[in-house]
Every structure is written in structure tokens, then in C-alpha cells.
Amino acid sequence: MELQSNPAVLYLIVALLASSPIALMLERLGRRAPAIFSGAFLTVSGLVLALSGALGGSFFVIADLPFLGRIALFADGLSSPILAALLAVAGLVSFSGCLGEAKPQRGFQALFLLYVAGVAGLFLSANLVLVFAFLELTLIASWLAIGWWGGPGRGRASIKYFIYTELGALMLLAGILMLWGSTGTLDALSAPSSTPASPGAMLGIAFIIAGVFVKSAVFPAHGWLPDAYSESPPRLAAALSFSTIAVGAYLLLRIFGSFMPGALSDPRVSGALAAFGLFNIIYGGIAAIRQRDLRRVLSYSSISQAGYVLIGVASATYVGFLGVLIWAVAHGFGKSALFLISGEYRGSLGTDSLDDLGGLAGKMPITSSSLLLSFLSLAGIPPTLGFWGEFFILFGFASSLLSAGIDPFRLGVLVLAAASTVVSAAYGLWTARRILYGEETPASAGARDRISFALPVIAMVLALVALGIMPFLITGAFWIYPG
């Protein structure tokens, strides 16, 4: 499909960047005013993008520089759906700050909007250096938010987060520069996609994959994740849970879908992605079962979820890539809802420890239903959206196996990955049973639903179910330039 010049992509990024200082100024009207503003702005923007497809097939050239080449923004059928999901999730997360929190933190919403602007800019960047610049913006904004508004262990968690993620960003930059040296361009819109990958380009891709592994907390680069998630403010943890998977998935799909699609024909690349994917599915799932508080369960489950992304990318098929997009969107809605619920437990009950919670199904039926449905989506159980993501990923990998001839290694990956879906269901259902149906504890005695808190979470869960029933809303919009 062709791209048409449209300044709307630039207007959106400018509006997102401008919303941060606006939120800061709105604090004069009351501590909830910034959250109300950002919630309305982000949610409406996400809905407009989703319903109108206003950015699909758009590009806009900002500048043409001597060394970096064309600096442009663009939106195809990959960036548009994931951007709409980002804005919707971030908007609902922002609303939780004005509906659910007793004392919204001053300055937090401005930094949160800066983080969202960085992620959105990354999704819309055509030039790989611009991708890196927006990634740096997200890292700085989230690092400051953890350090200023995190929990008791925020100092250690924020330092670990910064060191890990900055190292990943530098590896990504090194890979980008190597690709530049090998291909002569940093522009995904003009990359020589039909040219076989040179040794220098393959080394650059290896560095980019390593950087994505750090960003997506893929084993063995996952050390930052449990502490960062545990010590982050609930709203930031919810946003981080979206970007951890979505940004990594997007970068891999963009590199292998637009910039250098032929690289996945190298069995070393696709085989390494498949092997790391399978290991992370199993390792993350088993580690999640061993945790004793909800946020740690969610942290290690994200490692497991990242494994499915790698297998979908390794398939090198349209169906597998579509599954990765759906999986990222489903993870964004489901995991964000779960982190908000964990924050509600900590705020209203004083703990999210599985040992201190129990019998909440009857006391908090709305919150409990949302928790259960979110876990079902993470486990890939219909009628939630997670089912379609998992199905397309495995189907895409199976089709690549059949088209290339039966390879014992890839067949083993497929069988074990399909069997490992049981692990995902196990940690989710085990956690839900402990919290919802165990014996009532002293911490659970005064539990009750707060409708003000539950509204954003209900909206996320309804999105999971609605998109699960109508997946064509995503499948019909999906295409990757230069598709």
C-alpha cells in the first residue's frame, strides 16, 4: 500500500509533547485536574484513531539532513493500531489517577504524558535515529517517575532500571549505526528491502535484537523488571507493562518487516529468536508461579509473554506478525488492568501479597471479575483478545515450519510452545484462586469495590472481550510498509 503525505502525524506528536507542560500548569486548578485533562485527551485521541483510521497510510517529512537523511514520521497498518491502543490504555490509566487515588501526586501526570509522547513518537518514526531519540525520552521520563514517586525501594529500583535500559538503548544505537554503515540509509521508507543482508548489517541486527531483549526484559536481560514493576507507582507500572512488550514487538516487526525483511531467512536469526522465545515462555511462567505477591507474578509473567513475541517474529510470516501485534495489544489492556488492580489492593487493603489476601470474589465482585478476565486473556483463552494473538503466533510458526520443510528443531519449539500455554494458564488461575477464593484474611475483611477505581479497569477488560469477539477490527487494519 502507498503512503500519502499528511501532517496529522506531526500534529499528533506535537500535541502529545505539548500536553505535558499543559498538565503541569493545570495543577493550579486542583491536583486532579491534570489527570482529568490527560485522561480525556488521550482516550479521545485513541478512540478517534481507532474508529476513523485517520493516520493509516500517512507520512510527513520534517527535515532532510546531510548525514542522517530524511527525518520523517509515518503510520502504516502496524503503527496505527498499536498507537491507538497505547493512547486508549494511557488515557484509562490517567483516569484512574483522578477517580481512584485519594491524593494524586503533583507533577506525576506531566511526566507520564512525556513518557506516552515518547512511546507514540517511537511508533511513528521512520528514521531509526529518531526512534532512538524517542526511546531515550521514554527511558528518562520513566526513570524519573520511578525515582520520585516509587515505593520504599525506589532508589535501588530506579538505578537498576536506568543502568539496564540505558545499556539496552546504547546497544540499539550501535546496531542502528551498523545498519547505516551497511545499507547507507536510516530511513525505513527507503531501505533497500530486496538487497541481501551483508555481514555488517547482520551484526547490526544482532545488536538491535540485544537492545530489544533488554527493553522487553527477555532472559537473561530481565534483571531490572521485577524491582522496577514492584516499586513503580501503579499508573506508571500499568504504562510500563504496555510498553515493555509493545515497544520490543514493534521494533522487531519494523526491522524485519520494513527495514530488512530478508534477514529472517537466515536460520541463525530466526532460530535464535525461536529458542529464546521458548525458553522465556517456560522460565517466566515457572518463575511467576513461585512468587508470593501479585506484582511479582505480573513481572515474571511479562517475561513469559515476551517469549511469544519472539516466536511470532521468528515465524517470518504475515500471520505470525499479525499475531505479535494482537498479542501486544492484548497484553497492554490485560496487564495494565492487572497492575491497576494490584495498586488498588495495596492502596485500600494495604497489601498485594498472595499470603495476605483471600476471599475477595464476594467482597469485590467487579474488581475480581476484571482480574480473572485479564488473566484469561494473558493465558490465551477465548473469548478474549489474547486467544487470537496466541493462535496467530503459533499458526504462523506452524505455517513457516510446513513451508520450509519439517525441521526437528522448529517442530520441537512449536510443540513445546503450544504445550507451555498450560503454564500461562496455571500461574494466572493459581493467582486468581489464591486472591479470590481462598480463606478470608484480616486484610480482606474490609474489602469492597470502589466504582470510581473500577471504571477504567472495566473499560480495559471490555476492550479485551470486544476485540476478542471482533478481532477483524485489528486484522482488517493490519499491514506493514512496504506491504
pLDDT bracket for residue 324 (50, 70, 90): very high
Q: What are phi and psi of 126, to 5 degrees?
A: -90, -35
Alpha helices in 405-450 (DSSP H): 408-419, 421-437
pLDDT bracket for residue 101 (50, 70, 90): low
Mean pLDDT of 159-168: 89
192, pLDDT greater than 70: no
Which residues share a beta bridge with 60?
A: 73
pLDDT bracket for residue 53 (50, 70, 90): low
CB 114 within 8 A of CB 137: yes
Residue 249 resides in a domain:
no
pLDDT bracket for residue 314 (50, 70, 90): very high
pLDDT bracket for residue 100 (50, 70, 90): low
446, pLDDT greater than 90: no
Check residue 95 and give its pLDDT. 84
Domain count, the chain: 1
Helix (H, G, I), strand (E, B) or coil at 5: strand
CB 189 within 8 A of CB 221: no
pLDDT tens-digit series, residues 199-241: 777 888 889 999 989 888 888 878 888 888 888 888 888 888 8
End-to-end CA distance of the chain: give it in Å, rounded.
Answer: 6
Residue with cell 510527513: 60
**92-121 burial: b if 16+ Cβ within 10 Å, else e:** bbbbbbbbbbeebbebbbbbbbbbbbbbbb
More confident residue, 465 or 99: 465
Which residues share a beta bridge with 63?
A: 71
Burial class (CB in 10 A: 0-12, 13-18, 19+), 402: exposed
Residue 445 resides in a domain:
yes
Report which listed range, 50-54, 100-104, 158-162, 402-406, is most confident: 158-162
Residue 209 resides in a domain:
no
- Of residues 104, 117, 113, the one with CA closest to residue 27: 104
Residue 411 resides in a domain:
yes
More confident residue, 245 or 192: 245
Query: DSSP assignment of 68-106, as one string?
Result: TEEEEEEE-TTHHHHHHHHHHHHHHHHHHHHHT-SSPPT
What's the DSSP call for residue 127? B
196, pLDDT greater than 70: no
C-alpha to C-alpha distance for 17 and 24, rounded to whole angstroms: 12
| Other Cβ atoms within 10 Å of 237 Cβ, number | 26
Residue 164 resides in a domain:
no
Cell of 146: 520511578
Query: DSSP assignment of 255-306, as one string?
Result: IIIII-GGGGGSHHHHHHHHHHHHHHHHHHHHHHHT-SBHHHHHHHHHHHHH
Long-range CB contacts (within 8 A, 24+) of 52-56: 53/80, 53/477, 54/8, 55/6, 55/8, 55/9, 55/12, 55/79, 55/80, 55/83, 55/124, 56/80, 56/477
pLDDT bracket for residue 54 (50, 70, 90): low
> Which distant-in-sequence residues (6+ apart) come within 8 Å of 108 by Cβ?
97, 145, 148, 149, 233, 235, 236
pLDDT tens-digit series, residues 354-397: 888 878 888 888 888 898 999 888 888 889 999 999 999 999 99
Element (H, E) at 4: strand 4-5
Check residue 483 and give its pLDDT. 54
Mean pLDDT of 458-480: 91
- Give percent of the chain with pLDDT exceeding 70: 95
pLDDT bracket for residue 250 (50, 70, 90): very high
Residue 358 resides in a domain:
yes
What are the respective helix, strand and coil percentages of the chain, to the nearest 5? 75, 5, 20
Lowest mean pLDDT among 71-85, 108-122, 267-281, 440-454: 440-454
Residue 477 resides in a domain:
yes
Query: DSSP assignment of 35-72, as one string?
Result: HHHHHHHHHHHHHHHHHH-TTTTEEEEEEEETTTEEEE
pLDDT bracket for residue 328 (50, 70, 90): very high
Average pLDDT value for the chain: 85
47, pLDDT greater than 90: no
Check residue 197 and give its pLDDT. 66
104, pLDDT greater than 80: no
Report which listed range, 110-124, 213-227, 247-261, 289-303, is most confident: 110-124
Residue 450 resides in a domain:
yes
Check residue 1 and give its pLDDT. 66
64, pLDDT greater than 90: no
474, pLDDT greater than 80: yes
Range of the domain at 389: 267-483
Asked whether the whole model's pTM tops 0.75, one would answer yes
**CA dist 341 → 16, 208, 294 (Å):** 27, 34, 9
Cell of 380: 490465551
